A and B are shown apart, each in its own frame.
Chain A
C-alpha cells in the first residue's frame, strides 16, 4: 500500500518567515511532486523531481524552492512566506512516466 506522508497537516506562519514542508514516500518511487490547491484553480504544479537532486519547475515555481537529497524525501521551501502563499499544499509520488500519482494528506498553510 502506497504511503505518502507530509510533516504537518496545519501550519500557521508569519509573513517573511522561511517555511519548510516535508514529504516522505515509502514506495521507492522515482518521481515526486509538489502542488498547491486553491478554490476554483484546481491543482497547480509547483515543482517536481524525477531523481535524487534532480528537479524541474512546474507551472507556478515563483517564491518556492525544493530539495531532494534522498529518494524518499522531497521538501518544499518558501524562502520568505507571503500571504498569497496561503493554500493547501499537496505532495505526490509516482513510479515513473505516466504512472498514477499517489498523494499525501496535504498541509493547509496559513500565512498571516
Chain B
C-alpha cells in the first residue's frame, strides 16, 4: 500500500524552462511534507518543506505547492539548470511520529 506516490518515474526539461514534479498521497493525517534531491552514489539532500497549514513555500528557484483537498503536492523549479538533474523524492509525515514515508522518486533530466 503506497501511501505516497510519484507517478512519473522520469521527466526531461530544457534548461531555463520550468520543471514540475508531482506527488500524491492517500493518508489525510499527513501534515508535513519534504522534498529531497539525490545524485547518484550520494545520499539524499533536503530541498524544501511545507506544513499543511500553508499551501505554498518558496526558496529561491524552488517552490512547493500543497493542495490538501486533492492530496497533492508539487515541486516547481524555475529556471531549471543542468545541475538540477537528479532523482527527487517527496516524503510525508504526521504529527507525533518520527517517520517519513517516501515516494518512489522522479528522475529529472535537464537538457542543456
Residues on A lying within 8 angstroms of B by beta carbon are 4, 9, 31, 35, 40-45, 48, 50, 58, 90, 92, 94, 96-98, 100-106, 108
Q: Name 6 extra pairs, CB < 8 A, besides A31-B98, A97-B96, A98-B32.
A: A40-B9, A43-B91, A43-B102, A90-B44, A98-B97, A102-B46
Q: B45 an interface residue at 8 Å Cβ cutoff?
A: yes
Contact check: which of B32, B36, B43, B100 meets A105 at CB < 8 Å? B43
A57–B103 Cα distance when bound, in Å, is: 19
Q: B42 an interface residue at 8 Å Cβ cutoff?
A: yes
A102–B99 Cα distance when bound, in Å, is: 13
From 1 to 56 in chain B, residues with beta carbon under 8 angstroms from any chain A beta carbon are 6, 9, 32, 34, 36, 41-46, 49
B45 nearest CB across to chain A (Å): 7
A40–B91 Cα distance when bound, in Å, is: 15
Cβ-closest chain A residue relative to B6: A42
Chain A residues whose C-beta falls within 8 Å of the C-beta of B96 in the assembled complex: 97
Inter-subunit contact B104/A41 (CB<8 Å): yes
A97–B97 Cα distance when bound, in Å, is: 6
A48–B98 Cα distance when bound, in Å, is: 9
A98–B89 Cα distance when bound, in Å, is: 16
Chain B residues whose C-beta falls within 8 Å of the C-beta of A31 in the assembled complex: 98
Contacts A42-B102, A42-B103, A43-B102 given; indicate if A106 touches B32 (C-beta within 8 A): no
A109–B98 Cα distance when bound, in Å, is: 26
Cβ-closest chain B residue relative to A38: B104
A41 nearest CB across to chain B (Å): 6
List 26 interface pairs A-B (beta carbons < 8 Å), by A numbering.
Answer: A31-B98, A42-B103, A42-B105, A43-B89, A43-B91, A45-B99, A48-B99, A50-B98, A58-B99, A90-B43, A92-B43, A94-B98, A97-B96, A97-B97, A98-B32, A98-B93, A98-B95, A98-B97, A100-B46, A100-B49, A102-B46, A103-B43, A103-B44, A104-B43, A105-B42, A106-B42
